[in-house]
């Protein structure tokens, strides 16, 4: 047993504190697989945790970070052996279970997904929970029956992590993608990802009508609140919106009109406790449906010492695309 670098969150007199420090391996929680973490990433929830802006962390001390990619060091789980390359997302890591911003992690082998063939650990975390969530949303829309022939799809929070990956995947699948953003300076970036149109988020932030002009057959929303309400009111007959975020709030000031008059569906996307088989499908699809060139364009790299500062920037809406965190 020894120590390793980790971002540790502790309870303070007012809120929490976060610092890069040494963590004792003896303090790792129960699990049948120990992983040498090589890469992690920065998601909106990670920003909330390391800055203490919301009560994400539910036990102390906590190691922050909700997903990792790395190599198995020890395993008593029948599916995994030393040397296997694995991905882990969610399952309460960084909230109730010691997380990913560390050189080591101990988790249940049932939580792990094998790194897809041809995908590097770095690329997996360039995708991260944000990209994996975007893929879950795409799968939900496909299960609903949506195809490019049905009409345009809209993506909100388009310059963020979920939005960037969603645009890249949907455009590669042949959809006409409408990107909604509050940063018009990113219009060129969004078009490079595959957006056919870029609209200002102001078009979706006013009070929602029960029904508005039909504009899209489906969409992926990471914003919530009034934005989601407007999306629903503008969705075409029998269309669907996949909701996976709450950057603007948890409320939904909508009405039943889109559901009972147009047959619109609201598809809830949960990445944290998602069943393992659906996770495997999502990661397999990401290996084939996400252009590696576009992934490289949306990704920037930092190390553990820069995570806390980057967490504040992602909450302020100052991060474009995806951030990978080099652990070792």
Predicted confidence at residue 141, as pLDDT, reads 98
Number of domains in the chain: 2
Residues 145-164 have pLDDT tens digits of: 999 999 999 999 999 999 99
Mean pLDDT of 280-284: 97
Residue 19 shares a structural domain with residue 105: yes
Predicted confidence at residue 1, as pLDDT, reads 63
Residue 174 shares a structural domain with residue 231: yes
Three-state SS across the chain?
CCEEEEEEEEECCCCEEEEEEEEEHHHCCCCCEEEEEEEEECCHHHHHHHHCCCCCCCCCCEECCCEEEEEEEEECCCCCCCCCEEEEECCCECCCECCCCECEEEECHHHCEECCCCCCHHHHHHHHHHHHHHHHHHHHHHHHCCCHHHCCEEECCCCCHHHHHHHHHHHHCCCCEEEEECCHHHHHHHHHHCCCEEEEHHHHCCCCCCCCCCCEEEEEECCEHHHHHHHHHCEEEEEEEEECCCCCECCCCCCCHHHHHCCCEEEECCCCCCCHHHHHHHHHHHHHHCCHHHHHHCEEEEEHHHHHHHHHHHHCCCCCCEEEEECC
Residues 45-104 have pLDDT tens digits of: 999 999 999 889 999 999 999 999 999 999 999 999 999 999 999 999 999 999 999 999
Residue 195 shares a structural domain with residue 133: yes
Residue 98 shares a structural domain with residue 61: yes
Residue 89 shares a structural domain with residue 137: no
């Amino acid at each position: 047993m020894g120590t390793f670098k980790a971002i540790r969150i502790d309870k303070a007199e007012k809120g929490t504190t976060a610092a890069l420090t040494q963590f004792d391996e003896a303090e790792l929680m129960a699990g049948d697989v120990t992983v040498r973490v090589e890469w992690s990433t920065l998601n909106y929830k990670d920003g909330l945790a390391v800055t203490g802006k919301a009560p994400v962390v539910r036990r102390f001390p906590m190691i922050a970070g909700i997903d990792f990619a790395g190599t198995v060091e020890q395993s008593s789980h029948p599916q995994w052996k030393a040397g296997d390359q694995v991905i882990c997302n969610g399952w309460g890591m960084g909230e109730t279970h010691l997380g990913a911003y560390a050189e080591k992690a101990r988790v249940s082998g049932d939580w792990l997904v094998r790194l897809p063939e041809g995908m590097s650990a770095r690329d997996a975390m360039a995708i991260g929970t944000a990209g994996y969530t975007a893929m879950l949303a795409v799968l939900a829309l496909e299960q609903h029956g949506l195809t490019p022939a049905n009409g345009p799809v809209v993506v909100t929070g388009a310059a963020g992590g979920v939005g960037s990956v969603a645009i890249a995947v949907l455009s590669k699948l042949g959809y006409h993608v409408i990107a909604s953003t509050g940063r018009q300076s990113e219009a060129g970036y969004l078009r490079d990802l595959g957006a056919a149109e870029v609209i200002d988020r102001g078009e979706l932030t006013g009070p929602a009508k029960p029904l508005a002009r039909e504009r899209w057959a489906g969409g992926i929303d990471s914003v919530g609140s009034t934005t989601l309400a407007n999306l629903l009111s503008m969705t075409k007959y029998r269309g669907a919106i996949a909701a996976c975020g709450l950057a603007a709030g948890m409320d939904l000031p909508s009405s039943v009109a889109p559901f009972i008059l147009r047959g619109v569906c609201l598809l809830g996307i949960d990445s944290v406790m998602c069943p393992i088989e659906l996770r495997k499908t999502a990661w397999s699809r990401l290996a084939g449906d996400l252009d590696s060139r576009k992934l490289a364009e949306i990704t920037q790299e930092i190390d553990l010492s820069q995570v806390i500062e980057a967490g504040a920037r992602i909450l302020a809406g100052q991060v474009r695309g995806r951030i990978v965190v080099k652990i070792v």
